[in-house]
With several copies, the nearest count.
Chain A
């Protein structure tokens, strides 16, 4: 068999498409929710890490470091399969969202921190000298500048979360990639995997380009 029959087999792809689309829907649902929650959580964590009282700061650092180090697969298994032993029984969707959110917020926290630290000290001083309280200092002055700086890595992180939904199949949430490997096994042909890659690219490229446009408009100031 040649490369086309093996990796770009049209009938196999057409066969697999309905499965892939079913997986895509899970990927999007789970991914979008975890990205949004992860960004919010990450921002909170970054602020705790930078400005919290010592013990809060310690907790934030531990949270960030441990949940970046732990493999998502293991976290998912613990949340979904171990928690019932202590009486917490989550649905697979909740468990997957929770695990993805925890991990993505740990990553996002470090990104936001780098952005906040890149805002010149003079900006904080000017805001404080004007009497702005912590909330407005962050909201009006520091975060708009910090977020502008970190748009590229935040985009990367969001893409990562979307792709990490693949691991949710371990808690019986078959996402796009899982559906593709399954279709591969059924047909004994890797074409569905290539199909999934194409779908990922079709899904992500426009989003990434859109972010780039926003970024440019931002930068023009």
Chain B
């Protein structure tokens, strides 16, 4: 039996009377890379945030490695295994870049500060920002902050990585580098759910592409199916509008 690392069954999330996502069903196998695309406000971020319970969902079940994601004793453990890179960077302004990256490995995995900071330096090098290790987040440019956020998530060596538009604040040069990092992670067998508008990345790396609209998954399939042979009319318009500029 193939173990699905993430199973999402009939999930719905409401904000007051407004339904942000509904009837979401999605199983993700270990090592799979799923790219989520869709217009603004379609619920992509909300879906990602439900997976590690940053938003509690109102209906259905989400299972990570067979464990239901819900408030309780094992939530912290689930979260340590599910890394997340935010659309906003959410770096901790009260500590240096290096500390930002080393913190969770020390507090959650029990590493020593020395060890954690050594590993953090390596990750900062990987995203090309090691020279700023001693600066505070407010002293970095937007792109630099985003790269730190990625390093921070990688530091936990999570089983599943959630990316919410990880490259949106990066300049094109850096987009390339970060996408390379993500590609190498995919080759290492890390399961990833990536909300992105980088169609190039989706085409090259995704095992599956999910198209959301109005809080629902409207179509899903291999990148080839989605990009070359879209069925849903809304997906067609969406793709056309992207290619037109």
Contact = CB atoms under 8 A, between A and B. Distances in A.
Q: A and B: real partners?
A: yes
Interface of A: 120, 122-123, 125-133, 136, 140-141, 144-145, 148, 221
Interface of B: 49, 52, 54, 76-84, 86, 88, 90-95, 103-104, 107-108, 136, 138, 152-153, 156
Contacts of A132: 76, 103-104, 107-108
A140 B94 CA distance: 9
A90 B108 CA distance: 44
A145 B94 contact: yes
A129 B107 contact: no
Contacts of B93: 145, 221
Most A CB within 10 A of own CB, among B52, B86, B93: B93
Identify whether the interface residues of A are mostly helix, strand, loop, or mixed. Answer: helix
Contacts of A148: 94
Nearest to B99: A140
Identify whether the interface residues of B are mostly helix, strand, loop, or mixed. Answer: mixed
Most A CB within 10 A of own CB, among B49, B79, B86, B107: B107
B80 A141 contact: no
B104 A131 contact: yes
Contacts of A145: 93-94
Contact of B156 (A120, A131, A140, A141): A131
Most B CB within 10 A of own CB, among A123, A125, A145: A125
Contact of B90 (A122, A136, A140, A144): A122
Given A133-B76, A140-B103, A126 B86 contact: yes
Given A122-B86, A221-B136, A221-B138, A129 B92 contact: no
Contacts of B108: 130-133, 136
Contact of B91 (A126, A129, A131, A136): A126
B90 A123 contact: yes
Given A122-B88, A126-B86, A132-B104, 19 more contacts: A120-B90, A125-B49, A126-B91, A129-B54, A129-B153, A130-B79, A130-B83, A130-B152, A130-B153, A131-B81, A131-B156, A132-B103, A132-B107, A133-B76, A133-B107, A133-B108, A140-B103, A221-B136, A221-B138
B54 A140 contact: no
Contacts of A131: 76-81, 104, 108, 156
Contacts of B107: 132-133, 136, 140
B110 to A, nearest CB: 12
A126 B92 contact: yes
A130 B104 contact: yes
B77 A126 contact: no
B92 A141 contact: yes
8 contacts: A126-B86, A126-B90, A128-B54, A130-B153, A131-B80, A131-B81, A140-B92, A148-B94
User: What are the 5 A-B residue pairs with the smallest beta carbon separation, nearest first?
Assistant: A131-B80, A126-B90, A130-B104, A122-B90, A131-B79
